[in-house]
Structure 1
């Protein structure tokens, strides 16, 4: 898009940059007229959507080449590599016009199944056999392989049936002899007449159930004085209440997760991934997700994009009349308009593709209801901040709107026309997506937790492990009701996801009439006040006025602070300028720019810690100014630039030690250096600072990896104590750190301490996830059994 931006003349740039929402019809028309006469524009559209240049279309030759490489790896017993090649071959393998395909597709499924059989992935192997049989019911090798894997699963009745079918289809004498031998072996099994198996694909493709507990919370959308619309409840809401469940209007996977997660349900992709039948872009975990995203395939249609000319006639945008819904649901297939091999959906930014899905959904819904009038675009009741966007952002939104509609034109080919305001509506839609899309996250188990999910216990003799969990952003989506909840840096609602479904659960007691608020990302304890305000302003165009951003709190005084040079003083030394005004408020500023104004907490809320950290703020003097580098309690000064540089260098050494800890035979020298660096950070950073907590945590993880669990426990406990100051004792971040401590205590054989620590973590998880804990965090149940002595290997 940079080529197009640089080609736009200065007068059009100025008109777009200075324009408002009222000017959009004229500015979009102005830019459209210019681009329509620009050869570069038609070249770009051709590169994105021309079928002759489609980089994401099926390629039988490429599939056959990848199959050959997989066969070579299989012959060398390099099964992991073979699995990868067979999967990629399936990605490129086309399905023929009758929907059955030639022998290539079922052969690839069987080859991948054989590879997974060797790797012990029996359930996945069974699903691939089912897929091969569904594509080619007379393929003897598919029945044979399914019979063999059923035998491995001790599903002997099913194995007998499958092998008998394979025997009836096999044409070679050697093949028949081999199958007969396998049947004889199964007949010797004593369980033969008792075991009845069934394919696991029914279970795998069986839809996604919602949470079991029903929510009865009544919510109301009201106008608030400072935050516009917001959600509240006429009733009191107790902690851990499920207050909202919602599926997205539209969703899109992030580029970083395209190869690792299902493009529909966003779960981690299994070994037996399936692909879109018409292009090579999406990866799905099951046929169910594939059908939901792509819809039913009509095999009498062309599977490639068509175009009579590389040039796009921007004056006549049209639509096709044939569309399809996802099977067994009212939902319109979200990927279908992106299909056919054109790669624009793989190249354009995720939020632009998401806007395209919303537009396509709007078009398809109108067509399904028989409305064939001109299309303007969806007018959703969502906020947008176009008028305050930067000129650069406005120009980008204009260009992406025109490019996106041009790409959609390649799919929609009837004489249905667009209204004049369509482009203006598309610009607003893009702005709405940017502001209102919610990041879908999943919890990824790291290190020791992987072992836990595989039912491995802990013992003192085990290799050092430290169970940890990482929150990974995998997708973004539009939730119409979810967008009505306002932000707070100390939210009273926790959001989490199962597949695409958004769940909101209260984490504190919410009095009737009080705002019900979640976090848009920035939270007190996670970021300092200045960073939170900057992030929210850049991404959502507002200055937060929640309680954490309007009242002085301990976490904002200490999170990024340095310690006072006087050893007896607990005062914090900040990099910001703070001054107290006559209104008994503290102003925080950086580079003479006022960031925010904080009221001092009521005397009843002033605890011992905050008074010691910022003693000067609580004196009766009317005016007070504390410059960067000065203590907030005694005004002692430090060399701030030197402290920053030394602290960052020490943290870098600790992180290096953590990386080296994965290498066997680590020497004493890195350990000594890391501990010395930790002492440097302790001398410079405030005792409650996040930098010190991170350093303690990194040291703990490193010691756990090299097997020194006593040291790991010491530093893990130190990190948790600091985090309890920054957050609060029942914050979800504390629970994740407690799980690390549980794994260390188990490795030490201290089951009593592990049980007590686990109980603390489980109580917090239950507050945030209710009965969904084990579904969202599957390792918790395995860890619970380990703590209670449920594993043979555990002490």
Structure 2
């Protein structure tokens, strides 16, 4: 891409930079004519569409090498490594190749089934036996690159140990044959049962192979084959940025439905903000659009017109995807006392589930209705995904006539206003004017605030960056008492941080309550000194060698931060959370509970008591309490259930699979 961009003459670059939606067809046509005679451009297209080049194609020799390595690991009873080798070999093995008169893919499935049986994963082993007996011939969503090894490329759920590979290229992995078929639009064909591959496997699996019927795993309701057009030995999502590959899937889906490209782009009815795109991005967008159209011409049976108007439509479509695509996420949790069992099961340690829970971005998608919801940094609806389906729930009472708004990422309590505004401008090309960004919000004031120099004053001290942002917002309110975005939980406690006379003077370094001056330069220096010890503690936690000296230094740093930063500053909460994890690792569980509670108290001031973030933190607190036999876990686990039900309704157990083990441990404690 960089090479192609560098070859575009300056006059054409200026034309692209100055282009508007109305002038796009002419601009795209000029760039297309420029690339038409360029061998480098056509070579790139051939690399992406010619199966003979197969940049991501199958590789028999590599598959055989991995198979032999897996066999050796199996003989050495290193079943975890054997599983990895067989799974990697399946990704690379061509479906129509034999090894010693046996189908290579079928042999690998049976070998992996033997490993799964040794690991007591009988269901997964049986599925591999099915696959060995049923060898296949040789709106749009797309998985994130960092999740390709861990999540299904079709349904985006976690991959099981018996993951399934694409039959034509070596990149995609699927959780089941069902997802593999749906992604590629391919039907299974029956394969002769006798492959001569049953030797040296356990008796019950051998019996199962002989008894299983061929029809149990077939698919009759194949969806739109979103991967088929890009699977010509070259996996496009491995080469293109996600939004480019996603645009290709949208276009192919449109053409499969016999909808003209131009009509489909208009039918999406989504904003694109093309005029606000950065000049450098505009040129890249044009080049990718031309390459994508060439690739689709080579890979699709449907005729696509190769002209400026068609390319202009693709430019707008990609712009729409950049602005309107929704992030698909899944829950992830890791035990702070050690990693989870490699197959996702909880360890049997007495101190289990003391885990950090987070949302992992696994893909992006265009939902024609869901993408129309407006953004708010204080959303009143939450979104979640079950497989590929989007669900939307209100998370608070919404009065009649009030808009339903979701968050595109940043929220109050997570980032301060200036950071939220910058992110939304960079990612979505608009300036946020939601209630949280248009009016004074105490969470924004306190999130990164400093402590007043007067010991007994709870007032807020802000730096210049926050002040500049908040001064623009104060034009929307008459006084501090007119702050309309305050939640009830903030009204009494956090208003103590503001002056009682109703005015809201904002100057860098001056306390908003008592007007005392704080030397911000020395405050920043103190925070930086304190963070050295915190960083050292985090490093030792990774290595598992936490000394009392490092812990003591971190506790002293926490005291320094408390005297420098405001009591509700989010960095104090972060340090409290780090110390809670550290004390878990050294077995000081009561101290871990104390620090975890303090962290949650701060986050409740920033987010509110019923925010999903509080639910995540309560999981950690209650799991430590369960490990101690502390009945205080009852109240906290009930709160977790209430919060997750508020956000996920009947899908709470699906979205948060760690909830049931928590409740199971709670039942044992109560008994």
TM-score norm. by structure 2 comes to: 0.88
Cα pair 2:47 2:55 within 8 Å, conserved: no
Residue 496 of structure 1 is matched in structure 2 by 384
The partner residue of 2:324 within 433, 436, 448 is 436
Residue 592 of structure 2 is matched in structure 1 by 712
| Residues in 1 aligned to 2:5 and 2:304: alpha-carbon distance in whole angstroms | 30
Structure-2 change in CA distance of 1:415 and 1:685 (3 Å): closer
Residue 341 of structure 1 is matched in structure 2 by 233
Offset of residue 716 of structure 1: 0.5
Bigger mean CA deviation after superposition, 504-513 or 651-660: 651-660
The yes-or-no answer on 1:657 pairing with 2:545 is no
Structure-2 change in CA distance of 1:55 and 1:618 (3 Å): same
1:94-113 counterparts in 2 under 5 A?
94-96=94-96, 102-113=102-113
Structure-2 change in CA distance of 1:587 and 1:656 (3 Å): closer
Deviations 1:64-121 (A, max 9, x none): 12111111222222211111111111111112299xx952111111111111222222
| Residues in 2 aligned to 1:18 and 1:267: alpha-carbon distance in whole angstroms | 43
Cα pair 2:449 2:569 within 8 Å, conserved: yes
Residue 5 of structure 1 is matched in structure 2 by 5
Residue 309 of structure 1 is matched in structure 2 by none
SS at match of 2:668: coil
| Residues in 2 aligned to 1:706 and 1:355: alpha-carbon distance in whole angstroms | 50
| Residues in 1 aligned to 2:352 and 2:522: alpha-carbon distance in whole angstroms | 37
| Residues in 1 aligned to 2:545 and 2:346: alpha-carbon distance in whole angstroms | 28
Offset of residue 453 of structure 1: 7.5
Cα pair 2:346 2:352 within 8 Å, conserved: no
The yes-or-no answer on 1:92 pairing with 2:59 is no
Offset of residue 298 of structure 1: 8.8
Residue 199 of structure 1 is matched in structure 2 by none
Cα pair 1:572 1:631 within 8 Å, conserved: yes
Offset of residue 434 of structure 1: 0.2
| Residues in 2 aligned to 1:59 and 1:663: alpha-carbon distance in whole angstroms | 38
SS at match of 1:503: strand
SS at match of 2:186: coil
Residue 401 of structure 1 is matched in structure 2 by 289
Structure-2 change in CA distance of 1:13 and 1:664 (3 Å): closer
Residue 421 of structure 2 is matched in structure 1 by 533
Residue 561 of structure 1 is matched in structure 2 by 449
**Is the radius of gyration larger for structure 1 or structure 2?**
1
SS at match of 1:443: strand
Offset of residue 44 of structure 1: 2.6
Residue 257 of structure 1 is matched in structure 2 by 147
Offset of residue 603 of structure 1: 4.9
Offset of residue 736 of structure 1: 1.1
The yes-or-no answer on 1:774 pairing with 2:619 is no
Structure-2 change in CA distance of 1:97 and 1:595 (3 Å): farther
Offset of residue 450 of structure 1: 4.7
The partner residue of 2:176 within 286, 289, 292 is 286
Offset of residue 553 of structure 1: 1.8
Residue 356 of structure 2 is matched in structure 1 by 468
Structure-2 change in CA distance of 1:649 and 1:32 (3 Å): farther
Residue 193 of structure 2 is matched in structure 1 by none
Bigger mean CA deviation after superposition, 41-50 or 3-12: 41-50
| Residues in 1 aligned to 2:618 and 2:385: alpha-carbon distance in whole angstroms | 22
Cα pair 1:116 1:124 within 8 Å, conserved: yes
1:449-464 counterparts in 2 under 5 A?
450=340, 454=345, 462-463=350-351
Structure-2 change in CA distance of 1:616 and 1:352 (3 Å): farther
Offset of residue 633 of structure 1: 1.8
Residue 644 of structure 1 is matched in structure 2 by 524
Cα pair 2:251 2:261 within 8 Å, conserved: no
Cα pair 1:616 1:632 within 8 Å, conserved: no
Cα pair 2:116 2:125 within 8 Å, conserved: yes
| Residues in 2 aligned to 1:469 and 1:417: alpha-carbon distance in whole angstroms | 48
Which is richer in helix? 2
Offset of residue 420 of structure 1: 4.6
Q: Relative contact order, CA 8 A, sep 6+: which one is greater?
A: 1
| Residues in 1 aligned to 2:546 and 2:304: alpha-carbon distance in whole angstroms | 69
Structure-2 change in CA distance of 1:338 and 1:453 (3 Å): closer
Cα pair 1:267 1:499 within 8 Å, conserved: yes
Cα pair 1:491 1:518 within 8 Å, conserved: yes
Residue 155 of structure 1 is matched in structure 2 by none
Offset of residue 536 of structure 1: 1.1
| Residues in 2 aligned to 1:289 and 1:397: alpha-carbon distance in whole angstroms | 31
Bigger mean CA deviation after superposition, 734-743 or 538-547: 538-547
Residue 360 of structure 1 is matched in structure 2 by 252
Residue 665 of structure 2 is matched in structure 1 by 786
Residue 740 of structure 1 is matched in structure 2 by 620
1:581-592 counterparts in 2 under 5 A?
588=470
SS at match of 2:470: strand
Offset of residue 587 of structure 1: 6.1
Structure-2 change in CA distance of 1:761 and 1:376 (3 Å): closer
Residue 210 of structure 2 is matched in structure 1 by none
Cα pair 2:261 2:310 within 8 Å, conserved: no
Residue 164 of structure 2 is matched in structure 1 by 274
1:618-637 counterparts in 2 under 5 A?
618-619=502-503, 626-637=506-517
SS at match of 1:497: strand
| Residues in 1 aligned to 2:302 and 2:244: alpha-carbon distance in whole angstroms | 24
Cα pair 1:464 1:707 within 8 Å, conserved: no
1:30-179 counterparts in 2 under 5 A?
30-96=30-96, 102-135=102-135
Offset of residue 769 of structure 1: 1.2
Structure-2 change in CA distance of 1:614 and 1:601 (3 Å): closer
Offset of residue 457 of structure 1: 7.1
Offset of residue 598 of structure 1: 4.3
1:572-611 counterparts in 2 under 5 A?
572-576=460-464, 588=470, 597-599=475-477, 600=479, 602-603=481-482, 607-611=491-495
Deviations 1:382-404 (A, max 9, x none): 11100121211211110110111
Structure-2 change in CA distance of 1:456 and 1:278 (3 Å): closer
The partner residue of 2:333 within 438, 445, 451 is 445
Structure-2 change in CA distance of 1:568 and 1:415 (3 Å): closer
Residue 637 of structure 2 is matched in structure 1 by 758
| Residues in 1 aligned to 2:564 and 2:321: alpha-carbon distance in whole angstroms | 43
Cα pair 2:185 2:222 within 8 Å, conserved: no
| Residues in 2 aligned to 1:562 and 1:328: alpha-carbon distance in whole angstroms | 63
SS at match of 1:88: helix
Residue 233 of structure 1 is matched in structure 2 by none
Structure-2 change in CA distance of 1:266 and 1:784 (3 Å): same
Structure-2 change in CA distance of 1:432 and 1:23 (3 Å): same
TM-score norm. by structure 1 comes to: 0.75
| Residues in 1 aligned to 2:184 and 2:588: alpha-carbon distance in whole angstroms | 52
Residue 676 of structure 1 is matched in structure 2 by 556
Cα pair 1:28 1:398 within 8 Å, conserved: yes
Residue 208 of structure 2 is matched in structure 1 by none
Structure-2 change in CA distance of 1:481 and 1:40 (3 Å): same
Cα pair 2:381 2:393 within 8 Å, conserved: yes
Residue 498 of structure 2 is matched in structure 1 by 614
| Residues in 2 aligned to 1:414 and 1:719: alpha-carbon distance in whole angstroms | 58
The yes-or-no answer on 1:486 pairing with 2:374 is yes
The partner residue of 2:458 within 570, 582, 586 is 570
Offset of residue 468 of structure 1: 2.8
| Residues in 2 aligned to 1:437 and 1:578: alpha-carbon distance in whole angstroms | 30
Structure-2 change in CA distance of 1:253 and 1:595 (3 Å): farther
Structure-2 change in CA distance of 1:336 and 1:742 (3 Å): same
1:308-387 counterparts in 2 under 5 A?
328-329=220-221, 331-366=223-258, 378-379=265-266, 380-387=268-275
Cα pair 1:463 1:705 within 8 Å, conserved: no
Q: Which runs of 5+ in 1 are unaligned?
A: 137-248, 300-325, 580-585
| Residues in 2 aligned to 1:598 and 1:43: alpha-carbon distance in whole angstroms | 57
Structure-2 change in CA distance of 1:439 and 1:665 (3 Å): closer
